[in-house]
């Protein structure tokens, strides 16, 4: 699979902290689910057509309340 390409007009994936260790995931401005782990996040992104994405690339994924290794926020 090839890496997903992005341009300046594509909004980043947003990951916001929620209660109980979950994070709200938005792709292109639309809520796609509540992730409990990095695997959940990748599943939601894949369902939205974003595969093989570097989740630590700030041009693609914007983390709020900690980065990809923080899930108990």
Q: Of 65, 73, 69, 61, give the one whose Cα is nearest residue 14.
A: 61
Q: What is the pLDDT of residue 14?
A: 94
Interacting residues of 2 by C-beta distance below 8 A, sequence separation 6+? 52
In contact, 32 and 23? CB cutoff 8 Å: no
In contact, 60 and 48? CB cutoff 8 Å: no
Tokens of 29: 């401005």
pTM for this structure? 0.81
- Domains of the chain, by residue range, sit at 13-63
pLDDT of the chain, 73 residues: tens digit per residue: 445 555 555 558 999 999 888 999 999 999 999 999 999 999 999 999 999 999 999 999 999 999 999 887 6
Q: What is the pLDDT of residue 22?
A: 93
Measure the CA–CA gap between 51 and 20, rounded to whole angstroms: 27
């Amino acid at each position: 699979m090839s890496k997903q390409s992005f341009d300046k007009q594509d909004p980043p994936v947003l990951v916001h902290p929620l209660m109980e260790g979950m994070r709200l995931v938005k792709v292109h401005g639309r809520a796609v689910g509540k992730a409990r782990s990095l695997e959940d996040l990748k599943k939601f992104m894949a369902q939205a057509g974003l595969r093989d994405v570097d989740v630590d690339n700030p041009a693609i994924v914007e983390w709020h309340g900690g980065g990809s290794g923080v899930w108990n926020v």
